[in-house]
Structure 1
Amino acid sequence: MADESDTLCRAQISTTPLGINPLSGDSHVTTAHRRSLRRLSWLAIATALLSACASPSTSPTWQAPEAASGLQRKPGWTLERQAVAAANPLATQAGADILRAGGSAVDAAVAVQMVLTLVEPQSSGIGGGAFLLHHDGKTVLAYDGRETAPAKASPAMFLDEQGKPLPFNTAVTSGRSVGVPGAMAMLKLAHQRHGRLPWARLFEPAIALADNGFPVSPRLHTLLAADEALRQDPVARAYFYRADGSPYPVGHRLRNPELAEVLRNIAAIGPLALQEGPVANAIVAATKRAPLPGELSADDLRRYTPKVREALCHPHQAAGRELRVCGFPPPSSGALAIGQILGLVARTPQATAPLVDGLPSPEWLHRYAEASRLAFADRALYVADPDFVPAPAGDWHSLLDPAYLDERARLIGPQRAPDAPAGQPGGAKVALGAMPKQPEYGTSHISIVDAHGNALAMTTTIEAGFGSRRMVSTNPARPGGFLLNNELTDFSFTPTDAQGRPIANRVEPGKRPRSSMSPTLVFDAKSGDVLMSAGSPGGAFIIHYTAKTLHGALQWGLTPQAAVDLPNFGSLGGPVQLEKGRFPPATVQALQARGHTVQEVELTSGAQALLRRDGRWLGGADPRREGIVAGD
């Protein structure tokens, strides 16, 4: 017999996924909205939501990969012309609708992000930031919408009165954690350059959903139930929880009229709606009502400017094919770390080792872990906002130089090395201290290709689950709003190391915190054709989730769905972490025999991937989350 949550979820799906009749005469649904909603694929959404409602197995014992615990089986998708892969079915379908209306990949990304702000508030939204990697058929550009530190921020802002780092969770839920949101300004800039449909058209799906409601998903319900800090914010509590403090059940139709109004204003006048006026004032007020109020000001919001950077591209060979892998440059560490890891593994005897019974072999995992430790050592020492910290040897490519990778690869042996020190690319003299480890979470990823020859990978975030737990509202009588990021906790809490050397990723006014977000585009090196778009949420493990997906599809020849499905693994410099319940005991024992400490933990990636193969686009959506792929 189905439990209450399952019954509610299926009851909601049995009407329409949006909880409304798109052909009805509801006065608050415009004619334009009805035209938009008619084009949505109700069957695809309903199928995905039913899959999301299924109860996953929780057995911790070893099982074959195809029956492993915690996964929602997904079919993989094949599209001819255009495709969207995103973390929620409603967001994916909104993007596909925009593509079918003649929109570009950027147009679709704007629509997807607006819907994700509503239906996946724990991960991303207009109160956060994003990195967008875009290819227009000729050029790859990196659009930087990363949040910035307020003008009054200081290197010691995350230290207590005794000069010690604040407890991480204390910092996250404080007003000090909130950076200047940058996602909307960046998307507007990208739309000005690459959009095809009117800006306002892109907001119609999210506004209709916010006005009319969407069904609370199993993942959102579970996360709301587990989060005590979110309940402490009065605006968030009034929106997400019932009077007794319990979250609304799965399938409950959740409306957000406050967000609908904000989105109408952004649709009308652009990001200025967030940077000046009532919403800007409400953003500042939300940071002041938090414990340990922050320094964010109205001037910080007005002065925010997105940046356009040169993509970080490097050659890579997989399965005998010459490729060009492009990722996001600093302040992201993702492209550098992924390039180093895959480049170092390619220089080991296990470079082309195949899967064994559908899994990476222990020897391959050992080499991958050692490569990871070396890459993360360089990451901790060198990578930060390039407007504040210069690249080693004056060029970030120095960390990917073949001669440097040859030198680093010689440190990888048959056993775990006692140390994994940072290197000196180009003979760089080190005057910085390494950043201490601290948690990273959150985020969502979107991959899109359109019929006009454009492709993008966009990773978007409010950092932790539900960000700073500060919800912005301009009208207490109107339920809802949007959540603010806690992106500044991606900075190092300590500004110097034990020797007094400055840490590259220390807090400074106007600085962008270092990120692990890894939106990635892969090209055929000879033809220049786009082959793949990929990325994932998951804090620092984003790097491993994305690297696994790339290696699985490009080296092991898997479909993107099969590559995403593979069990997760990696190291952040210390123990080897393996996805719980996904590897046999023999693999754990073999790694331990090579000197590794092994931890079996939940590694809940949320990867999305699109791969061009035999003239078609193959799609993959992470079975650990609720996303789907849609297109034509």
Structure 2
Amino acid sequence: MTLPLPVRIIPLAVALCASACVPPPNAAVPAVSPVASATQGVPLEGPGLVSAADPRAAEAGAQMLRLGGSATDAAIATMLALTVVEPQSSGIGGGGFLVVGDAAGSVDTIDGRETAPRAATPQWFYVDGKPLSYGEAIPGGRSVGIPGNLRLAASAHNAKGKLAWRTLFQPAIRLAREGFAVTPRLNSILAAASRTGALDPDARALYYGAAGLPLPVGTIVRNPALAATLEAIAARGADSFYTGDNAATVAAKVGTSPRNPAPMTTADLAAYRAIGRPAVCGQYRAYRICGMGPPSSGATTVFAILKQLERFDLKTLGPANPVSWHLIAESERLAYADRDQYLADSDFVSVPVAGLTDPSYLAGRSALISEGSTLPSVQPGTPPGAKVAFAPAPLQEEHGTTHFVAVDRWGNAASYTSTIEGPFGSGLMVGGYYLNNELTDFNIVPDRDGKPTANRVEGGKRPRSSMAPTLVYGPDGKLRLAIGAAGGTTIPAQVAKAIIGVLDWNLSAREAIALPVIFAPGGDVVFVEKGTRLEQLIPLLQQLGHAQVVARSPSFKANAIERVGDRWRGAADPRSEGAAIAP
């Protein structure tokens, strides 16, 4: 088993502005606890814990916990800091999903997914009557959805926040104003994504040198434009992002983009709302699994993968047995086939969520799986409540995204996945932040075989997402695990694999996240993580009937917090630069 590297902690001392519930600017910042405790475990009765894909962002969240903030406060501060230090993956120019649970097991979810402008039509990505390729559709204005993260943050803060709104912004403002170091990951993605990362002159000036090369690792980047944007929102609230100068600038940037200009209006931004959705929960063995419903495909797909495996003795098989990975792949194939057929924005199409998570339906799907053979092909099932027959859509690759989790002194947990979609989103920059390219998560071709697809573009609609922020509750009703991942369509596979690692194989969350990933998205091809023991198992998987097993380089990034006895333990993906930080 490949075990994770030691979690790397980079403390960040941040002076906090005055507010009714935080110290004045000249007050001493609370001392940082020894950071090793984050992975060894911190007491449940302590201030809490944060895990994120960048230690500077995790530290921003931990500061909120030190000040007596809630898990929601910490998650929002982490999201804002990631806007600064992880511009390639997430931020206020994008959207996200938040799953919040309290100590009693009550779970709420907020949908901050981007929406298409009202002018959008099913042929949104067509030029001269022909669809753009996925790569052609990304750069510029046509891929930009109305950002949702700040409306999500405001809604969550109103319901679950304890600190003043402006307090949550101070770590991110300081990072943007005083500067942050370019990490190896940011440098490599800047090099690989120069087409979008440097599309906008402001972005090119910020992240690339005079010769057009990305800034070297260790270079200190200061983003005063973003600091000013964050200061304005901190002072005037989220509405100032969706109205006034910022909204006008966003609409103009999208409409006048040198690549793929598209109609977006200030009315589109002003009309955006984050939506509270019912949590999607189900029972896997003795555990309750809760996640985000449509337009996310995360909860239904994760749960289907798990539930279809429930009749198999995964614990006895263990993580070293190729049969375990064969079974996981077969379950993924079935779950992803249903995902591609049925999942979309439930405000626009009828999504049979109850049917897709119905134990009897999933038992029938499970019956198709065999320990000793492979299904020659997979088709979507017909879950209870499936009223409209949409055509299944071909899988489209997604990239980018980030996930972070927080728990607080009251036992509340926040699992938040945030994204601008591809590396640096659309490549368009406004006020120091990148605008997303989330609309390419819609099906570019709106129909198939003469039938409409559920995830076609429509004005005001939210594109289907793979993001899967998840909470797992134990038999005692207490939180066992808060987890999520980044990596596009692989996200449900990553999350389900990690849950199996913790619940069935008795691994720590760190070990479970570090397990190699197998990804079987509905078709005949199974992908395994290159350079891991799964690559060595390819011949054995082929003997079980998987004719096309392809090893590919990893692009995974998961974060989690688990409860073990009387302690919280943090976990960050060893493939990432992430960290878990205790206040």
Q: TM-score, normalised by structure 2?
A: 0.92
* Rounded Cα–Cα distance in structure 2 between residues aligned with 1:34 and 1:587: 59
SS at the partner of 1:506?
coil
Deviation at 1:367, TM superposition (A): 1.2
Where does residue 66 of structure 1 map in the other structure?
none
TM alignment of 1:144-293, pairs within 5 A: 144-163=111-130, 165-229=131-195, 230-287=197-254, 288-293=256-261
1:83 CA displacement: 0.6
> Is 1:571 paired with 2:523?
no
One-letter code aligned to 1:376: Y
Per-residue deviation, 1:618: 1.4
Show CA shifts across 1:362-386 (max 9, x none): 1111111111111111001111111
Match of 1:373 in 2: 333
User: Would you say the 8 A contact 1:77–1:620 is kept in 2?
Assistant: no
CA distance change for structure 1 residues 585 and 285 in 2, over 3 Å: closer, same or farther? closer
In the alignment, is the contact (CA less than 8 A) between 2:83 and 2:92 conserved in 1? yes
Provide the rounded CA distance (Å) in 1 between the counterparts of 2:27 and 2:531: 46
User: Could you list the runs of 5+ residues in structure 2 that have no partner in the other structure?
Assistant: 1-7, 16-21
1:352 is the counterpart of 2:315: yes
Contact 2:83 2:433 in 1 (8 A): yes
Residues 290 and 470, structure 1, Cα contact 8 Å, conserved in 2 = no
- Offset at 1:604? 2.2
Question: Secondary structure of 1:426's partner?
Answer: coil
* 1:540 matches 2:489: yes
1:528 deviation in Å? 2.1
Worse-superposed segment, 322-331 or 577-586: 577-586
Aligned mates of 1:32, 1:42 — CA distance in 2 = 21
1:58-69 counterparts in 2 under 5 A? Answer: none
Match status 1:488 vs 2:454: no
| 1:325 equivalent among 282, 289, 297 | 289
Residue 583 (str. 1) matches residue 551 (str. 2): no
Q: Paired residue for 1:441?
A: 399
CA distance in structure 2 between the aligned counterparts of 1:584 and 1:491, rounded to whole angstroms: 32
Counterpart-to-counterpart distance in 1, 2:210 and 2:163: 42
Q: Quick one: which of 396, 408, 423 aligns to 1:465?
A: 423
Q: Which residue of 2 aligns with 1:504?
A: 454
Task: Note the alpha carbon deviations across 1:471-495, whole angstroms, 9 max, x for none.
Answer: 113xxxxxxx000000000001111
Structure 2 residue matching 1:445: 3-state secondary structure? strand
Counterpart in 2 of 1:390? 350
Cα offset, 1:429, TM superposition: 5.0
Q: Residues 417 and 217 from structure 1, CA distance in 2 versus in 1: closer, same or farther, beyond 3 angstroms?
A: same
**Cα pair distance change 1:465/1:34, threshold 3 Å:** farther
**Is the contact between residue 173 and residue 290 of structure 1 (CA under 8 Å) also seen in structure 2?**
no
- Is the CA contact 2:354–2:384 (under 8 Å) kept in the aligned structure 1? no
Q: Which amino acid is the alignment partner of residue 510 of structure 1?
A: G
Report the counterpart of residue 600 of structure 1 in structure 2: 551
Aligned to 1:300: 268
CA RMSD of aligned residues (A): 2.1
The one-letter amino acid of 1:391's match is V
Stretch moving more, 153-162 or 542-551: 153-162
Q: Structure 1 residue 99 and structure 2 residue 48: aligned?
A: no
Does residue 1:553 correspond to 2:517, yes or no?
no
| Structure 2 CA distance for aligned equivalents of residues 555 and 493 of structure 1 | 39
Query: Partners of 2:93 and 2:185 in 1: how far apart?
Result: 21
1:518 Cα deviation (Å)?
Answer: 0.3
Q: Contact (CA 8 Å) 1:441, 1:463: kept in 2 or not?
A: yes
Q: Which residue of 2 aligns with 1:309?
A: 277
Mark the runs of 5 or more structure 1 residues left unpaired by the alignment: 1-9, 24-29, 48-73, 474-480
CA-to-aligned-CA distance 1:510-567 (integer Å, 9 cap, x gap): 1010000000001124x32111100000000011111111111111111111111111
Given residue 569 of structure 1, which amino acid in structure 2 is its aligned partner?
I
CA contact (8 A) 1:17 1:42 kept: no
Residue 427 of structure 1 deviates from its aligned partner by 6.8
Structure 1: 4+ residue segments shifted above 4 A: 30-36
Query: What residue in structure 1 maps to residue 42 of structure 2?
Result: 79
Equivalent position of 1:363 in the other structure: 323
Residue 105 of structure 1 deviates from its aligned partner by 0.7
Tell me what 2:19 maps to: none
Give aligned pairs, total: 561
Residue 623 of structure 1 corresponds to 574
Cα gap change, 1:297 to 1:353, in 2 (>3 Å):
farther
In the alignment, which residue of structure 1 is the partner of 2:361? Answer: 404
Q: Distance in 1 between matches of 2:96 and 2:25?
A: 27
Q: Relative to structure 1, is the Cα distance of residues 201 and 351 closer, same or farther in structure 2, using a 3 angstrom cutoff? A: same
In structure 1, what is the equivalent of residue 377 of structure 2? 419
The match for 2:56 among 90, 99, 102 is: 90
Query: Alignment partner of 1:405: what SS?
Result: helix
Could you say which residue in structure 1 is the equivalent of 2:3?
Answer: none
Distance 1:214 1:426, change over 3 A: same
| Counterpart among 306, 312, 328 of residue 342 in structure 1 | 306
- CA separation of 1:337 and 1:249: change in aligned 2, threshold 3 A: same
Q: State whether residues 532 and 612 of structure 1, in contact with CA within 8 Å, keep that contact through their aligned partners in structure 2.
A: yes
- Secondary structure of residue in 2 paired with 1:595: coil
Out of 418-427 and 306-315, give the one that drifted further: 418-427
The answer (yes or no) to whether the contact 1:424–1:430 under 8 Å persists in 2 is no
The aligned amino acid for 1:402 is P
Q: CA deviation at 1:39?
A: 3.5
Residue 217 of structure 2 aligns to a residue whose secondary structure is coil
- Structure 2 distance, partners of 1:429, 1:179, is 29
Secondary structure of the 2:227 match is helix
Q: Distance in 1 between matches of 2:141 and 2:292?
A: 28
Between the aligned partners of 1:624 and 1:75, the Cα distance in structure 2 is 18
How far the C-alpha of 1:174 sits from its partner, in A, is 2.8
* SS of residue paired to 2:283: strand
Cα distance in 2 for residues equivalent to 1:122 and 1:33:
31
After superposition, the Cα gap between the structure-2 partners of 1:616 and 1:429, relative to the gap in structure 1 and judged at 3 Å, is same
Identity %: 43
Aligned partner letter, 1:116: L
Question: Which residue identity lines up with residue 221 of structure 1 in the other structure?
Answer: N
